[in-house]
Every structure is written in C-alpha cells, then in structure tokens.
Structure 1
Amino acid sequence: MEPGKRSAALWDSFTYWWGRRSLQSRLIAAYIFIILGPCLMVSFYSYRAINNTYVRDAIDKNSYLLQMEKLHINNQVEVMERAVQMAYEDKDVQDYLNNTEEPDVGELINFNDYVFKNITRIQYNNPSIEHLRLYSNSDVHEIWPNIFRESRVASELWYQKALKLKGRLSWSFQNNDPDLMERYSAQPPKIVPKVSLLREMSIPSDNHIGMVQVDMLLERFTTKTYSTVQDSQSQMFLVDEDMQLFTRLDHSFLPDNKEMSAAIKSRLESYRETGEWDINYTENGKSYLLINTPLEHINAYLLNVVSMDGVMKDISHTRNLIIGVNIGFIILVTAIAYVLNAFILKNLRRLTETMKKVRRGESYSGITIRGGGEVGELAHHFSKLMNTINTLVAQAVQKQALSKEAELRTLHNQIDAHFLYNTLENIKMLAEIENQRTISDALTSLGGMMRYNFKWSGEYVKLRDEIRHIENYIEVMNIRFEYPVVLIMNMEPLYLELEVLKMSLQPIVENSVKHAWTGDKAGLEDRTIHIDISEAEGDIFIAVRDNGIGLTPERLSVLNASVYAKEESNPSLPGVGISDRRAGGIGLRNVHQRLQLFYGEEYGLELQSEAGSWTTVFMTLPKVLLTGDKQP
C-alpha cells in the first residue's frame, strides 16, 4: 500500500474510532488538548526566559567582580608607576648610578643618610610593593637590598627586554623568580609569582647608566586571582602579552580540563586580532563562561572562568518544577472537567431519551430541566416544538378553511375597488355631459388619489409620483375653499427621479391646508404653498412653506416635542391638548419616525415658524435613486 493511502486509511480508522466515543470522553480529550498546547508553549518560553535570566545574572555578577578586580589592578599599576617615577627622577640617584669614580667614605655616608633613606621610604610608604631595586652599569658600591650591580641580572630575559625599550616602561610577569638576595644562599629559592615594572635609565641620552625595578607579588597585585577559594564555581586568570597564564593552584579548573589553558590562549589571540570574543566554553560535558576584560596599561588580560554547574542545577530544578506544576494542573483540570461534564451531560442524556420515546410514537408529556445553558434552552425549545406540532396538527383543517376565506375576501376587496373606480368614471362622464368641468376635474384628481393610495406596491416611489399626488389633493381640496390654495414648485427636473417614501410629503401639505389659514388668516386671498428642493453633501433638503398664521414659540415648542417624541404623547399631560394633536402633530410625527426608520437617525423633519407670517417644515433625506443606488 502506498504511504499516502496508508495515511488516509489510518486517518479514517481514527476518525471512525473517535466518532464512536462518548461526548464526555471527547470533551475531556478536547480539554486536555486545548490546555496542553498553551501549557507547553508557556512552559517552553518560561523555561527559556528563566534560563536566559540565570545566565544573564551569572554574567552580570561575574562581570561586576571582574571590573572591580580590574579597578584594583589599575590602582596597583598606578602605585608601581609612581614608585618607578620617583626613583627615576631623583637627581642624587642618577648621579650615584652614573658615578665612574670610587666615592669616598663621606660621600657614601651622606648618600646612605639621605638619598638611600628616601628610596627606602618609597618602598615603606607603599606596603604592596615587594622590592624597589636600582641596577647600576658601573662598579658602584652595592647597598642592599635596593642598589645592585647590573651584572647580577644582565642575562635575564626580562632585563634584556627592558633595555630594548630605551626608557619606556616594561612589564614582566614571572611564575618563578627567586629573590636576588637569596640566589647564592644554601636555602632553596621561594617560588612566588610576581610582576615587575622596569625602566631603563640613560643620562645623558643614549648613555645607559642603569635600571629601576619595582616588584609586587601577584597575590597583592590581583588579590582575587590568588585569593583563598570562597567560590569554587569561578576562577580568575591573569594572562600577559606572551600568553602566560597566572592563577591559583588550589581548586583550579585546569587539572580536570586539560584543554582549557590552550582554549583560553587561542581565544585571546583571536580576540587580539579581531576584537570578537566567544564567551561560551564546554569541556568534559561541563559548560563554562569565559568573561574577559583587557588591561590596557600592562598589555595583559583579566579572565574570569565561571562554572555553570550551579546555574544548571537551579535551571534544572526550575524546569522540573514547571513540568510538575503542568502535570498537576492538567490532572486537576481533567478531574474537574470530568465531574462537571458528567453533571452537565446528565440533563442532555435525559433529553436524548425523551426524544427517542417521541420518535417511537409515544405520547409526549413534557420534560423539566432545571438551570439554564444550552441544554436547558434546547429542552425548552424542544418542548415548544412539540407543543407547536400538536397545535399545528389540531389546526390543520381550520387553516385550510381560513385560507379559502382569505381568498374570497381578497376577491371581494378587488371587486369593491373596481366598483368605486367605475362609479367615479360614470359620475365624471355625467359631469362632462352636463358641462361641469370643475366637477369632472375634481373627480379625475380624486380618482388619481384613490389609485395612488390603493396601489401600495412598496414603501418607495419617485418624487414625481408624490408631487402628482399632492397636486391632485390640492385640486380636490380647492373645491371647498372660497380662495384656492396655490402650489408653487421650485426644483430642478432631475430631482423628480429621486426616491422618497410614499405618503411622506402629502401629510405635510395636508397639515398646511387644514391649519394655515384659520383665524386672522381665514380671509386671506393669497394662499400659497412653496415646495423648494436643494442638495448639500449628498443629502436632499425639501422645504414645505406656507404663508399662514404661523405658530407662537410656545406652540412651536409643544409641536416639536410631539414630533420628536419616541412614543405618542399623552393628551392628559400638561401642555399637550386635543387642539395640539389635531394641529398636525400626529401626522408629522409619523412622517418623522418613518424617515428615521427607513433612512437613519440623522434624517427626519425640522419645524420653523413665525407667528402671523409663515410655517416651514424641512425634510432631510439621502439622495437615492428609486433603484436604491446612493448618488455621489
């Protein structure tokens, strides 16, 4: 079998097996899977963060110790350089070392009482200095332990190196340099690591007269490198320019790590050439940190080797703790989920058994499941469904009868509407036969109004249809008035194709016709209603203005409150009377609410008026074609 088919077969077997598991088992498995993924991810990143934190803390701590030791070494370097400088610049010392003639006894006593004591005082004032020695090129009298003939050390490599530097400072580190005063004694020489600072003396220039040497034991020069072991997890090394390593011998890393010394030298040579340093080192399965800082004054390096055993133990302990917490958390969540699922699915099993009984045809007597949630909601809707099914079965015959009755009623209504249209046409013909043109025109307008009202195929119509309906309404209403109402349109022809709500302008015009010319304006002959249409920012503004009696500020405020109210006003409330409701408030309120319902809260009506002069109703609606496309 091909690998792809084998994988597909295994997947099908797993899905079949998984599908046959109970819902509770699948939920428990899903909980474990959902929790296990984030737990593993959080644990992984937490472990990495803790590991990095431990390593960074170890680096910071030991780097700080290294910098403190470097500061100590720089102080000792300054002490040695100052001691060399004082001895080098002493004029009497220079004269004594440059003396080619045998000094008399008086000169020796005078030199010993003054000059030699000054040299000794330099050493005593700096306890860290082990030796301060002057070497003379001539055969002067030696004054131990400070003044010697150059021939005693002329063959030493460190001495030859200092001679070549011609007055510049020369640093020399030695693991085994016996004391000069004990070289010819029968006692075995002491092996004590030390550092020496030498400066060749030439007076005048190119006339070599001697050498100044200051010695300091390395245990004083770098105390932490040779200090008694207090932390077996780290070890400091001092490495000179010749790549010699100086460090303590007890509890050292070197005996157990034979390659560490060579690795340190190799990395320092690479660092000297490239400036790049590799801090991590591993040998014999153990990890170390090599923290390095250069000692620029003496052309050497200070190195701190840190064992990661302690850090790794802490990290391992933290890792085991995280794993244990995760396992305990998953076990706890699994147990809680099992108990809760058993409690929740108990009601689901009851509902399942009830559904099986109904499927077998048994009568449904109801099921009660306490509590909410999806199971309770499912049981509630199942009960509602069963009740609805029973009701529908009982009402099947009655619905058929009601359906037939509705069909007959619809046909009857159609017959009544056609009867009215035909009757109006007959009356119109009689009016034309009797030459009653006014009545004939009024009947034509009334028929148009009736057709417009009965023909309700949708909420939206073209503006031209609504305008035509208003014109028919004005023509019909003018039969009642002694002085006719004149409708004046001010709009561009393209606006006639705009979409408006059916019966949205007619209630506003009707409100003006009924209430504008009463009281003092009842005898007004010039009765006009202006309809102006304008556009701004994609919206259409329709202003319906009459020249009637207008409204007082108080009356306008009450009418606005009625129009903008979310619910219909209660006539028993103070300030809202029957006359206010008859003054068009209900009709305008219905138009305003329809505009907001179909177009949005930013659209609707706004009323303005001046008592005794005029009233204007502003309508705002979006510029939309009847097809529903919003216009730019």
Structure 2
Amino acid sequence: MKLGKRTRDIWESFFYWWGRRSLQSRLIAAYIFIILGPCLMVSFYSYKAINNTYFKDAIDKNSYLLQMEKLHINNQVEAMERAVQMAYEDKEVQDYLANTEEPDLVELVDFNTNVFTNMTRIQYNNPNIEHLRLYSNSNVHEISPIIFRESRVASEPWYQKAEKLKGKFSWSFLNSDRDLLERFYGQKPKLVPKVSLLREMSIPADNHIGMVQVDMLLERFTPKTYTTVQDSQSQMLLVDGEMQLFTRPDHSFLQENRKMAAAITDRLQSYNKTGNWDIHYTENGKSFLFINTPLDRIDAHLLNVVSMEGVMKEISHTRNLIIGVNIGFIILVTVIAYVLNAFILKNLRRLTETMKKVRRGEAYTGITIRGGGEVGELAHHFSKLMNTINTLVAQAVQKQALSKEAELRTLHNQIDAHFLYNTLENIKMLAEMENQRTISDALTSLGGMMRYNFKWSGEYVKLRDEVRHIENYIEVMNIRFEYPIVLKLRIEAHYLELEVLKMSLQPIVENSVKHAWTGDKEEMKERIICIDISESEGDIFIAVHDNGIGLTAERLATLNESVYAVKEEQPAASFSGTGANNPRASGIGLRNVHQRLQLFYGGAYGLEVQSEPGKWTTVFMTLPKVLLTGDKQP
C-alpha cells in the first residue's frame, strides 16, 4: 500500500510540474517524444535489414566461390577416373601384370615400345596428373616410373583399403607424396599433399593381379584450397572421409583458432548422421561462417571458412552512423521546432498577456492580431486541416478498396489457372486410361506452357526454364504438322544457369515454326531448329538457326529495319519465308524482343538477323553474362 501511494504521489508531482511548463516547452518535448519512437523503430529495422543483407551477401558470395571450386574438383575427378579406366581396360597391361613367367627380351621391348608408351601418353595428355602407376603381385620387370611390384606398397593402409574394395574406385588423401624409389633409403617424404585414385585388378574374377593408381597434387586438385594469394576473409578446406583436414599451411584460421579443427570435425560427423548443418561459429570473440558442400564422388567435403570480422566492422560502422544520424536529426528537429513555435505562439502570448491585464483589473485597450486573432486563425486552420484529413481518409479508403479489388482479381485468376491445370490433368488421366500416349504427352507439354505463361514472378528466368518452355512449345506444335520439327540444343550445362529475359527466345522460335517452311507436301527434308550458345569477352551469344527457305536480300534488309525501328511504322516482312504465303507476317515479335533486351541490358545488346535464300535463317541474340543474383560476370 505504501509503495502504491508513493508511486501515485510521484506521478501527481510530475503531472503538476508538467502542467506548469510553458506551452512551447511542452510542444518541443512532445515533438521529441513523437519523433523519437518512429526513429528508433526505423533505425532498429534498418539495422536489422542491413545486418541480414551483409550476412546474406557474404554467404552468397562465398557459396558461389565454393561451387566454382567444386566444379573444378569434379572436372579433376573425371580426368583421374578416365585415366584409371584407360589403364584398367588395356588388355596388354592386364596380360603383363598377370604374367607369372619371365618375359623374354623381345616381349619386353615390344611392351615398352607400345603399351608403356601409351601409358606414358595418358599422363602427358593430363598434365595435372602427378603419377600414373601400375602395381603387379607377380615378379614382373619394373619399368620406372609406371610399373612396380606390389610388395613396395602392400603394407600401406591406403593400398589395403583399395584392395578390399574389389575393383571399385578407392580415393585416398595423403599429406605427403612419398617416392617409391626413395622410401627404402631413409629419406624424408615430400610434404606435398596429394589425392590418389586406386582400382584393384582381378582377372578373372577374384584373381588379384595388381592395382592401378593415379595421383594428383592437392594444389592442382583444389587450387583455391592451396592458393598462395593471402586472403584474411576466407579459407577453403578439404575434409576427407576419415576427417583429415587439408588446407594451405600459411595464414590459416586453424593456427589462430585451435578449437576450429575439432569443431569442423564434430559438425561434419553430425551432418553425415542427421543432414543438419550449423553455419555459424564463434571462437576468441570472432565470428565465422562454415559454408559446406559435400563431394559425394570422393567421399569428402569442401568447406569455406569465412571470417566475419570485416563484415562486423562494417555493420558496427553502419550502426554508429545510424545512431549519429538519429541524434543529429532529433537535435535539428528540436531547434527548428523551438524557432517555429516561438514565431507561431507569439500572438497567443500577446493574447495571454492582455487577458492577464484584464484579470488584474486593468483597462482593456484592445489587441490587434492580424488574421482575425489566434482563436479565429486556429479555427480557420483547424477547419482546413479537417478537410485535408477527410480528403486523405477518402483517398486511403479508395486505395484500400482498389487494393482489395486487385487481390480478389488476382485470386480469381489463380482460381481460373488452377481450374485449367486440374482440367488438363483430368483429361491427361483419361488419355492415359485409353492408352493415348500421344495425347497425354501433348497435354503435359501444354500444361507446362500454361504454367510458364501464368507464373510471371519477375522479368528474369533461368535459361533452362526458357528452353524447357520452348521444348513444350515444339512438342505441342508438332501435333499439327505432317513433318515434325526437330529441336536441337547445343548448350553446355553451365550455361543453363544463366539469367535471361522471360519469353525472349520463344517468340524467335515461334517465328521459325510459323514461317521457316512453306508447308508444301513436296518439301520432304528434315525440319530442324538449332539453338547454340557461345561466349566472348563477358557477353553471351545465342543463335537460333533453322534450315527453312530463308530470306531474299531485300526482305532481310526490310526486316532488320523493322527490328531496329524505334517506333512501329508499318508491317514488316517475316524473318523467314518469302512472304507470299504469309501476307500478315511481320517482325513485330522480333522488334519487341530487341527493344526489351536494349531496355533491360543497354543499347549494346539486342538481335541481329542473317539469312541465305533457300537455305537457312539465323537470329543472333546478344546479352551480358549475368548470374541469378543479377551481377554481371567478368
């Protein structure tokens, strides 16, 4: 009770003191209080958004570097597997390793001239491969540096591991590249980490005759892991199936953070069991990110350890900047409010002084307040304010109604789209029940086209999505033609991840389908549309080529003029076909694509049409090499 009474007394004293303050002081305090709350909220959410952005950018950037390194490792894995396979499948090598009798001089010379030379050529054709070795369990002649007796390495754990796999690929990571000819002379092995691929040879089955081994130094196998470029922000590590860590020896995070290696091992073991990965790590007051990607083909993991020290400094600087801006803003607003209030309340103070004089009994001499006095001015402005507020409320209600209407229209469109998808699926099921595979496949392609058209979440899509839409379009259109169109894609896999404008290739292919061939029954040649991709100086060139009837020089010039025209003046000629059978054909679709490319990428990009009458027509599209994040690649 006493505590409650004391609290009540404090509040009453405060309100009494507050009530005795001048109106100007209370207005300034109210301004500060009103501004302070939104400023703190905006600053908090801005800081949080900036913090998340910094972390996301760091993760995206280093994840991209990690994936690029993984792609390089996969290429090296394929090269090593190919080398092992070539040596493994060589019949003369198998016969030599399985030979239990001493070969004569002629056989040795012939083997050295032919087979040994071929084995040497395998290594020369793959300069990243450090060693190609063949081990035999018989007493065959050793031919350095490729053919050795198995007894030299039979006791090595990595050799015994490969022998137990019975013909399957065995990957081993070693911290030293120990030379076979030096290991029996007491010399120290070279501290050069390497990776070895071994495959046991059994001919016939369960008859062990030897082993094939291919070695590659880790600095070539994963160059970014052993890069000599000093980078204090990130470090890549390779972790094999036995939880050995391989990385550059100098400027390593592992030297400064002794517990990091154990933490990486524990998290990888947990990841292998549960599939869950914890990306955040802190040691010695420093924050790190562990970005991991598995290398399933070699039973290993590639890890990018990213130091967040620089990012945290930038975040701290941004936080201090936000606080400083808020403090400066509040001070500026306080000064402005004080000056404005002093000016605005001047007449009110005069009126107050006059009223005090009258209350003291002094004769009232009147007061002249321009604009009808403070009360009249206040009422006048209040009326204006109310009118403005009502107008704003009406506008807000109207905007809200329009927003609801747009939401309902969007929902209605989604319902219609889902209705169409479900209807197509039902028809497709009926076609499959009637064993009408052609109709079922056509409905599948048509459904894919509809989903691609309806789902417009942005201007940019992956190239693979645009190509898949074109494939669906060709499959649907081939139902109409007696002679189907063959779509040939000569696109390397990594280009399918490029960012392109949605519906930029489909209009070009559609023009080819509609106008490249006359449709005469006498025209019996195979109808082909090819899509090729090349790259030069950071730009991507996409060529859509058809073997149709082509364009004359006059019609080609007219078409290019129409494509490059800023405004549509008159119908132009089709980019394929003579035009006699297509009087309404035009280059509007090409011009629209060209203008979209220039709008989104700049004037240096767009379309170019080339053709040879009676033979072919090709449309070249030029665009920058852009990732899905929208960053132009060098």
TM-score interval (norm. to shorter): 0.5 to 0.7
What's 2:248 paired with?
248
What's 2:124 paired with?
124
For residues 380 and 70 of structure 1, the distance between their equivalents in structure 2, rounded to whole angstroms, comes to: 73
- Superposed CA deviations along residues 283-333 of structure 1, whole A, max 9, x for unmatched, are 111100000000010011000000000000111111111111111111111
Contact 1:24 1:341 (8 Å CA) reproduced:
yes
Contact 1:145 1:181 (8 Å CA) reproduced:
no
- Superposed CA deviations along residues 472-498 of structure 1, whole A, max 9, x for unmatched, are xxxxxxxxxxxxxxxxxxxxxxxxxxx
What amino acid maps onto 1:26 in structure 2? R
Once the two structures are TM-superposed, the CA of residue 371 in structure 1 deviates from its matched residue by: 4.5
What's 1:98 paired with?
98
Cα 1:336–1:372 change in 2 (3 A) is farther
Contact 1:198 1:212 (8 Å CA) reproduced:
yes
- Superposed CA deviations along residues 92-132 of structure 1, whole A, max 9, x for unmatched, are 00000000110000000000000000000000000000000
Please show how residues 430-441 of structure 1 align to structure 2 within 5 Å. none
Cα 1:97–1:374 change in 2 (3 A) is farther
What amino acid maps onto 1:32 in structure 2? I
Q: Secondary structure at the match of 2:278?
A: coil
Contact 2:176 2:189 (8 Å CA) reproduced:
no
What's 1:315 paired with?
315
For residues 218 and 373 of structure 2, the distance between their equivalents in structure 1, rounded to whole angstroms, comes to: 80
For residues 380 and 115 of structure 1, the distance between their equivalents in structure 2, rounded to whole angstroms, comes to: 106
What's 2:444 paired with?
none
What amino acid maps onto 2:262 in structure 1? A
What's 2:221 paired with?
221
Structure 2: gaps spanning 5 or more residues: 382-634
Cα 1:236–1:371 change in 2 (3 A) is farther
Structure 1: gaps spanning 5 or more residues: 382-632
Could you tell me the percent identity over the aligned residues?
A: 82
What's 2:405 paired with?
none
Q: Secondary structure at the match of 1:139?
A: coil
For residues 304 and 371 of structure 1, the distance between their equivalents in structure 2, rounded to whole angstroms, comes to: 73
For residues 205 and 373 of structure 2, the distance between their equivalents in structure 1, rounded to whole angstroms, comes to: 104
User: Are 1:70 and 2:63 an aligned pair?
Assistant: no
For residues 377 and 170 of structure 1, the distance between their equivalents in structure 2, rounded to whole angstroms, comes to: 92
Contact 2:348 2:374 (8 Å CA) reproduced:
no
For residues 372 and 107 of structure 1, the distance between their equivalents in structure 2, rounded to whole angstroms, comes to: 124
User: Are 1:22 and 2:22 an aligned pair?
Assistant: yes
Q: Secondary structure at the match of 1:225?
A: coil
What's 1:304 paired with?
304
What amino acid maps onto 1:265 in structure 2? T
Cα 1:374–1:110 change in 2 (3 A) is farther
- Superposed CA deviations along residues 228-273 of structure 1, whole A, max 9, x for unmatched, are 1332111111001111111111000112211111110000011001
For residues 89 and 290 of structure 1, the distance between their equivalents in structure 2, rounded to whole angstroms, comes to: 41
Cα 1:324–1:166 change in 2 (3 A) is same
What amino acid maps onto 1:194 in structure 2? K
Q: Secondary structure at the match of 2:225?
A: helix
- Superposed CA deviations along residues 448-469 of structure 1, whole A, max 9, x for unmatched, are xxxxxxxxxxxxxxxxxxxxxx
Cα 1:349–1:266 change in 2 (3 A) is same
What amino acid maps onto 1:124 in structure 2? Y
What amino acid maps onto 2:62 in structure 1? N
Q: Secondary structure at the match of 2:261?
A: helix
Contact 1:134 1:213 (8 Å CA) reproduced:
yes
Q: Secondary structure at the match of 2:200?
A: strand
For residues 154 and 226 of structure 2, the distance between their equivalents in structure 1, rounded to whole angstroms, comes to: 30
For residues 243 and 188 of structure 2, the distance between their equivalents in structure 1, rounded to whole angstroms, comes to: 28
What amino acid maps onto 1:323 in structure 2? I
Further displaced range: 337-346 or 56-65: 337-346
For residues 356 and 33 of structure 2, the distance between their equivalents in structure 1, rounded to whole angstroms, comes to: 33
What's 1:79 paired with?
79
What's 2:337 paired with?
337
Once the two structures are TM-superposed, the CA of residue 362 in structure 1 deviates from its matched residue by: 4.1
User: Are 1:195 and 2:195 an aligned pair?
Assistant: yes
For residues 206 and 293 of structure 1, the distance between their equivalents in structure 2, rounded to whole angstroms, comes to: 36
For residues 274 and 347 of structure 1, the distance between their equivalents in structure 2, rounded to whole angstroms, comes to: 76
Q: Secondary structure at the match of 1:64?
A: helix
Cα 1:378–1:259 change in 2 (3 A) is closer
Cα 1:353–1:83 change in 2 (3 A) is same
Contact 2:193 2:218 (8 Å CA) reproduced:
yes
For residues 191 and 305 of structure 1, the distance between their equivalents in structure 2, rounded to whole angstroms, comes to: 23
Q: Secondary structure at the match of 1:281?
A: strand
- Superposed CA deviations along residues 187-238 of structure 1, whole A, max 9, x for unmatched, are 5431110000000000000100000000000000000000113321111110
Please show how residues 151-550 of structure 1 align to structure 2 within 5 Å. 151-185=151-185, 187-371=187-371, 375=375, 377=377
What amino acid maps onto 2:293 in structure 1? T
For residues 4 and 45 of structure 1, the distance between their equivalents in structure 2, rounded to whole angstroms, comes to: 37
For residues 276 and 320 of structure 1, the distance between their equivalents in structure 2, rounded to whole angstroms, comes to: 36
- Superposed CA deviations along residues 383-427 of structure 1, whole A, max 9, x for unmatched, are xxxxxxxxxxxxxxxxxxxxxxxxxxxxxxxxxxxxxxxxxxxxx
For residues 348 and 179 of structure 1, the distance between their equivalents in structure 2, rounded to whole angstroms, comes to: 99
Further displaced range: 103-112 or 173-182: 173-182
For residues 153 and 48 of structure 2, the distance between their equivalents in structure 1, rounded to whole angstroms, comes to: 58
For residues 174 and 2 of structure 2, the distance between their equivalents in structure 1, rounded to whole angstroms, comes to: 74
For residues 3 and 122 of structure 1, the distance between their equivalents in structure 2, rounded to whole angstroms, comes to: 91
Cα 1:106–1:254 change in 2 (3 A) is same
What's 1:575 paired with?
none
Contact 2:239 2:301 (8 Å CA) reproduced:
yes
What's 2:8 paired with?
8
Contact 1:135 1:212 (8 Å CA) reproduced:
yes
Once the two structures are TM-superposed, the CA of residue 5 in structure 1 deviates from its matched residue by: 2.1
For residues 29 and 160 of structure 2, the distance between their equivalents in structure 1, rounded to whole angstroms, comes to: 82
- Superposed CA deviations along residues 332-371 of structure 1, whole A, max 9, x for unmatched, are 1100001111111111110011222333444444322235
What amino acid maps onto 1:316 in structure 2? S
For residues 10 and 270 of structure 1, the distance between their equivalents in structure 2, rounded to whole angstroms, comes to: 58
For residues 2 and 206 of structure 2, the distance between their equivalents in structure 1, rounded to whole angstroms, comes to: 92
For residues 188 and 371 of structure 1, the distance between their equivalents in structure 2, rounded to whole angstroms, comes to: 101
- Paired residue total: 381
Cα 1:371–1:170 change in 2 (3 A) is farther
Q: Secondary structure at the match of 1:342?
A: helix
Contact 1:369 1:379 (8 Å CA) reproduced:
no
Contact 1:351 1:379 (8 Å CA) reproduced:
no
What amino acid maps onto 1:75 in structure 2? N
For residues 63 and 269 of structure 2, the distance between their equivalents in structure 1, rounded to whole angstroms, comes to: 21
- TM-score, normalising length: structure 1: 0.59
What amino acid maps onto 1:203 in structure 2? I
**Which has the higher Rg, Structure 1 or Structure 2?**
1
Contact 2:280 2:289 (8 Å CA) reproduced:
yes
For residues 73 and 293 of structure 1, the distance between their equivalents in structure 2, rounded to whole angstroms, comes to: 12
For residues 302 and 54 of structure 2, the distance between their equivalents in structure 1, rounded to whole angstroms, comes to: 23
What's 1:544 paired with?
none
Q: Secondary structure at the match of 1:142?
A: coil
What's 1:108 paired with?
108
Cα 1:380–1:178 change in 2 (3 A) is closer
Q: Secondary structure at the match of 1:306?
A: strand
Cα 1:108–1:336 change in 2 (3 A) is same
CA RMSD of aligned residues (A): 1.7
Q: Secondary structure at the match of 2:114?
A: helix
For residues 228 and 47 of structure 1, the distance between their equivalents in structure 2, rounded to whole angstroms, comes to: 36
Q: Secondary structure at the match of 1:297?
A: helix
Cα 1:4–1:217 change in 2 (3 A) is same
